[in-house]
Amino acid sequence: MVSVLFVCYGNICRSPIAEGIFRALVVEQGLSEEIQCDSAGTASYHIGELPDRRTRENALEHGLTLTHRARRITGEDLAQFDYFVAMDEANFEAIEKLSHRSVGLHPDDTIFLLREFDPAVNDQPNVPDPYYEGPEVFEEVYQIVLRCCRQLLAYLAQQHNLLLLSERAKEH
């Protein structure tokens, strides 16, 4: 089973929406038996909390219910997950530092910025943090994460020889 951990700072806005979107895409593609995901934060401010209310409201507008409880990334996660997807450069660096301190050093091709998968022409490497912003930024984050997660899923399917539903339909 391929496993993906989405990481942001507090694990209450960006990474929980990425986890929710990605999980829904995995289910939609019939790959629940092949791919799993979770999310975590690099800070411990919100451990045990549900995602930010505005994140949950935005998710519900798109048919997603987020029940994840915030947690902090640990060295154990490095052994459990195959891929780490950071929402911004600061969290990317935090994952790299953690991986260098841990026994199971992850190669560079397993730690990504989510926006590396953004099909929109864009020179912005970070998913904006909506925490101090209004509802329009939560929606912007949702749209960025959705398009990036679609591409991430296609990438993982290719890397692990998994067929997406559209590809399975072509075979029949």
* CATH number of the domain that residue 81 is part of: 3.40.50.2300
pTM here? 0.93
Residue 98 in this model has a pLDDT that exceeds 80:
yes
Distance of CA 166 to the CA centre of its chain: 22
For residues 56-82, average pLDDT: 95
For residues 30-39, average pLDDT: 97
40 band by pLDDT with thresholds 50, 70 and 90 = very high
150 part of the active site: no
14 part of the active site: yes
For 92, 130, 133, 157, the CA distances from 89, given in Å and listed in that order, are 5, 16, 20, 25
State whether the Cα torsion 92-93-98-102 is positive or negative. Answer: positive
Average pLDDT, the chain: 92
Q: Which of 13, 14, 54, 56 is catalytic?
A: 14
Which residue range(s) make up the domain with 65? 2-171
Largest CA distance in the chain: 50
For residues 90-102, average pLDDT: 86
97 φψ region: left (φ > 0), alpha (ψ -120 to 50), beta (else) = alpha
Give residue 18's pLDDT: 98
8 part of the active site: yes
Q: Which of 8, 37, 148, 149 is catalytic?
A: 8
CB-based contacts of 154: which residues, under 8 Å, 6+ apart?
164
Structural domain count, the chain: 1
CB-based contacts of 121: which residues, under 8 Å, 6+ apart?
none
Q: Which of 38, 52, 88, 129 is catalytic?
A: 129
